Amino acid sequence: IFPQMIDVSWGTELTFQRIPGIIATCVGYTQGAVQKPNYEQVCSGTTGHTEAIQLVYDPNECSYERLLNALFNTINPTLVNRVNNDMGTQYRHGVYPHTNEQQIAADSFFETLRNKYEARGEGPIVSELKDAAVFWPAENYHQRYLEKRGQSAEKDCEEKVRCYG
């Protein structure tokens, strides 16, 4: 199963790599109009793409809901075009289900998320929930970036994820 989860910060990728049942991660670009975009094009804000993570996972080991929780534990869903200190249209965040079952689960999750933020008096949820579109893998140097730089991707690892140092 290949859900697309948005917010491709390297920290989010490493967070997913550590979840039992995740078989593979691939960072890349989706939801845009240009075929085979590269990083520089996406960062220009002219392609309509957002940075994304595509996951292959075993639903017998890891539920879709767990993936949604993991994503929303790494982002603030009320920030427009921003993930942590990264800003721009390529940093809008969302969920792009591939199956009807994923769509139903995501709809329910988003409703719960909206209610939670509303009850706390926090801003509206701006994370997207749209059908999956073509996913273009990012350049190789973006793949498993933090793992290649010495951080553990071991399952259930509890070490703090460090994106910048």
pLDDT in tens, the chain (165 residues): 456 665 557 889 999 999 999 999 999 999 999 999 999 999 999 999 999 999 999 999 999 999 999 999 989 999 999 988 889 999 999 999 999 999 999 999 999 999 999 999 998 999 999 999 999 999 999 999 999 999 999 999 999 998 865
Partners of 29 in the β-ladder: 51, 136
- Note the helical H segments in 58-150: 64-72, 100-119, 145-148
pLDDT at 98: 93
Sequence-distant (6+) residues with CB within 8 A of 93 are: 6, 7, 50, 71, 75, 77, 83, 127, 128
For the chain, the C-alpha Rg in angstroms (whole number) is 15
Determine contact, residues 109/68, Cβ cutoff 8 Å: yes
Partners of 9 in the β-ladder: none
pLDDT at 85: 83
Count other C-beta atoms under 10 Å from residue 144's C-beta.
19
Closest CA to 63 of 121, 118, 116, 102: 102
pLDDT at 1: 46
pTM of the model: 0.91
pLDDT at 8: 59
